[in-house]
Amino acid sequence: MPTPLFISASPYARDVLALPVADLDAAVDYYTEKFGLAEVERRSEPHTAVTMERDGVQFGFAINGGDASQEGASIAVSDITVARQELEAKGVKTANWRVDERDGQKFQVFFVVAPDGLCYYFNQRID
């Protein structure tokens, strides 16, 4: 069994299961094609929303009036190089390939800003 690429996702602001988007169907198409997510649930209450998943890690996108340019998620991955190559091979622009330091630990990171305005911080801890 291959090692899962996505390990976890944490929101920048409120809830990684309610990231704001303006067009739910466009979001589903983009995240399916580019991030390899699969739709697992769609609901209409309290907002029109969809839950998507990859490697057991869930993301939610909702038409909830939020500002996508102020939201996104930190995505921990098992192999940062593979994650970057996979996204770039699908035409996704990645930026800021660098090493960050937090709480005495180092992380190889890069960013993706999706067409909906959401920003993703891909990271892998460097041992």
The domain 6-126 is classified under which CATH number: 3.30.565.10, 3.40.50.10310, 3.10.180.10, 3.30.70.270?
A: 3.10.180.10
Number of H helices, E strands in the chain: 2, 9
Cβ 60 vs Cβ 16: under 8 Å = yes
- pTM of the predicted model, to two decimals? 0.94
Cβ 76 vs Cβ 82: under 8 Å = no
Name the pLDDT band for 51 (thresholds 50, 70, 90).
Answer: very high
Cis peptide preceding 46, ω within 30 of 0: yes
pLDDT in tens, 84-114: 999 999 999 999 999 999 999 999 999 999 9
Q: Domain ranges in the chain?
A: 6-126
